[in-house]
Each structure stands twice: as structure tokens, then as C-alpha cells.
Amino acid sequence: MPPVLLHTVLLIVAYLLGTIPFGVIFARLFGVADVRKSGSGNIGAANVARVAGPTPGILTLLADAGKGALGVWLAIHYTQSTADWMILCGIAALLGHCYPIWLGFHGGKGVATALGVFAMLCPWAAAAALTVFILVVATWRFVSLGSISAAAAMPLLIYFLWAPGHAPPLSIVFGTLFASALVIYKHDANMQRLIEGTEPRFSHEKSKAQPS
């Protein structure tokens, strides 16, 4: 297959992987007809856990992360681990999750999918970002604040943890900046509520009305 065609196919497949609405699927399997009409209306793991329970929430988290990781794996497998195509396929999967064609381009906020992408690109950076998320949520009990903090930290984490003594390629640097900015942008409403003091704190209890 000609390289241009191969790369185009990889980007399309990565995007389509990202569009799989696992939150909608798992919530439905656990008794919620349409998670988009419950809680915040978001299809991500946090809202699924809130309205359908922890098990479908965890399944959604793992599946959403998995599709991001699989998008990068495709580039690793078919382009000899070319950094440019690894980050591009990862971003394609992330865009698919945030803007899925099947749901009218109204998708999730990309946190779990981005985690899967960066777990493949740089496991140490992904682990550090996950640690930031856990510490922030444990301290302030705002899932959105943990997500925003982890996304904001990722460009620096990638830069310093990419490889000992080596900075990442420019494509990885700018791709990470784009992915982080997208995740933060998707949390615009959460940031507004954090400023206003109306953002709900993390709770193990199900809820039908809390925003996320």
C-alpha cells in the first residue's frame, strides 16, 4: 500500500476507534437507557459511574483508554514506531472520542482516551499525570480539577520523561500541547463552575442531576 494511502487509512481507523461510545454502551447494559439524558449528559466514565454505578464507570474508563492506546498501537505496528504518526493517530482517536460522528459530534471530554494515548507514547509521563489526577481529586474531591491539572501537567511531563537526556521530537511536543489544550477546552463548563463555587465534589453515590 502506498505510504500516503496507508497513513490516511490509519488516521481514519484511529478516529473511528475513538468514536465508539463505550459510555453509552456500558450504561445501557447496566440499565441506563441513554446516559446522555442523565446526570451531566456526558458519555465519559465519571458520568457513567455517577448515573449507572461504579462497574460500568470502570469499564468505560478502561475501554476509552484502550481505544486511545489502540490508535497509537496502529501507528507503532504499521509505521515502524514513527513518532509523527504515533501522535497523529493518538490525536485522531482523541478527536473521535470528543467529536464522534455517530453522536452528532457531541462526545466525551477525552481524559481517559488521552491517558491511553500517552500510556503508549510515554508510560512514565502517563503514570505521573495519573498521580497528579489522583492527588488533586483526593485533596479537593473535584474530578474535573484533577482532569484539568493532569492535562495541564502533561506537556511538561512528556518533555522531561520522554527519554533520559533526550527531549521528545517536535511532533510529540506540539501534539501533546494540542491534546492537553483540547482536554482543558472540553472542561470549559467545569472551570466556570469551579470559579463560581458550584462544581459538585466527587461522590460514590449515584445521582441523576449533578453536572460533570
pLDDT in tens, the chain (212 residues): 889 999 999 999 999 999 999 999 999 999 999 999 998 899 999 999 999 999 999 999 999 999 999 999 999 999 988 999 999 999 999 999 999 999 999 999 999 999 999 999 999 999 999 999 999 999 999 999 999 999 999 999 999 999 988 999 999 999 999 999 999 999 999 999 999 999 988 775 665 444 44
Contact 64/147 with Cβ under 8 angstroms? no
Contact 111/147 with Cβ under 8 angstroms? yes
Cα-Cα end-to-end distance for the chain: 44
Contact 72/117 with Cβ under 8 angstroms? yes
Q: Tell me the sheet residues that pair with 163.
A: 166
Question: In terms of Cα–Cα distance, which of 116, 131, 94, 126 is closest to 18?
Answer: 94
pTM value?
0.94
